[in-house]
């Protein structure tokens, strides 16, 4: 695994040297744009529309648009002066309970592995956090940007999760229609909704979930490479249910079947078949 950052966790007066690794990876299939006539990948040219000339990197500066069409120029030397001195430190500020942080705050996940000289201190922090059940709130600078972060234990590893600052979370009141009442809910509807949730409730197992679109897309690309025919199965018919009570009843009936039935059915499907919904 590629080391993307080296530094140390500042834990009081204790410094724990660590390496940081990306904990997740993007699995989407990426397409490139080609010139249709010759199938050559196209280039993206840096061009000034005002001067009508192509540019090199030496001709480009950074600017912040403080009004429409008006910029203040900032050079790299000025940005360097504004950087924190402790760019290689993960400074722990507080310890909190995990349940106190809403999932909306979490951004990206990273594994923190110990450097050879910091193995004992690393284990000390890990075991202490496991025993107390706390997670740490810290600050870290990654690629010139200061991030707020949560440090927690994942399996046998210390993990860092960058989290958004409060002013980066949009106010939920901006969502239209939240205050609109569509009519009173009756007790029967609520009872049936609760039953539907109960029928669909299981112990979380991440291995049961798959990106079915990505798998179908990959099979489709493989079939084109091999020159085989790719069949897309017909869309499953959907019941035209308008009444909320009828929809709840139908949903409850559908979820009474064993939950493993759907998984077995999918396993029997042919390799070159995709389902579109």
Spatial separation of the C-alpha atoms in residues 7 and 142, rounded to whole Å: 11
Instruction: Give Cα 253 distance to the centre of its chain.
Output: 34
Question: Which pLDDT score, from 0 to 100, does residue 90 have?
Answer: 92
At 245 the pLDDT is: 81
Say which residue the tokens 């939920």 belong to.
172
Report pLDDT digits (tens) over 17-32. Answer: 999 998 988 788 888 8
What residue ranges define each of the domains in the chain, with the CATH number in brackets? 5-27+82-168 (2.40.290.10), 187-275 (no CATH)
pLDDT in tens, 58-106: 999 999 998 999 999 998 888 777 765 556 789 999 999 999 999 999 9
pTM: 0.70
Do 14 and 95 form a contact (C-beta atoms < 8 A)?
A: no
Which pLDDT belongs to residue 266?
A: 44
Residues of the chain with pLDDT under 50: 260-277
Three-state secondary structure call for residue 19: strand
100-136 as b/e: b if 16+ CB within 10 A? ebeeebeeeebbbebeeebeebbeebbeebeeeebbb
């Amino acid at each position: 695994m590629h080391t993307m950052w080296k530094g140390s966790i500042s834990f009081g007066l204790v410094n724990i040297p660590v390496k940081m690794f990306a904990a997740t990876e993007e699995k989407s299939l990426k397409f490139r744009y080609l010139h249709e006539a010759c199938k050559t990948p196209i280039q993206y040219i840096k061009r000034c529309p005002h001067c009508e000339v192509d540019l090199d990197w030496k001709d480009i500066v950074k600017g912040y648009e403080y009004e429409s069409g008006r910029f203040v120029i900032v050079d790299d030397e000025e940005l360097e002066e504004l950087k924190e001195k402790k760019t290689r430190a993960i400074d722990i500020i507080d310890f909190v309970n995990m349940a106190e942080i809403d999932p909306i705050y979490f951004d990206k996940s990273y594994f923190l592995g110990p450097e050879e000289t910091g193995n004992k201190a690393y284990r000390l922090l890990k075991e202490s956090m496991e025993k107390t059940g706390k997670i740490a709130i810290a600050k870290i600078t990654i690629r010139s940007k200061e991030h707020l972060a949560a440090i927690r234990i994942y399996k046998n590893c210390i993990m860092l999760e960058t989290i958004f600052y409060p002013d980066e979370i949009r106010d939920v009141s901006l969502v239209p229609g939240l205050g609109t009442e569509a009519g009173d809910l009756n007790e029967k509807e609520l009872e049936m909704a609760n039953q539907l949730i109960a029928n669909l409730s299981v112990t979380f197992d991440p291995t049961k979930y798959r990106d079915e679109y990505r798998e179908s897309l990959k099979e489709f690309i493989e079939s084109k490479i091999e020159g085989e025919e790719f069949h897309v199965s017909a869309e499953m018919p959907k019941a035209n249910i308008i009444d909320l009570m009828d929809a709840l009843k139908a949903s409850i009936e559908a979820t009474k079947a064993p939950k493993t039935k759907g998984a077995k059915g999918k396993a029997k499907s042919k390799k070159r078949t995709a389902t579109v919904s």
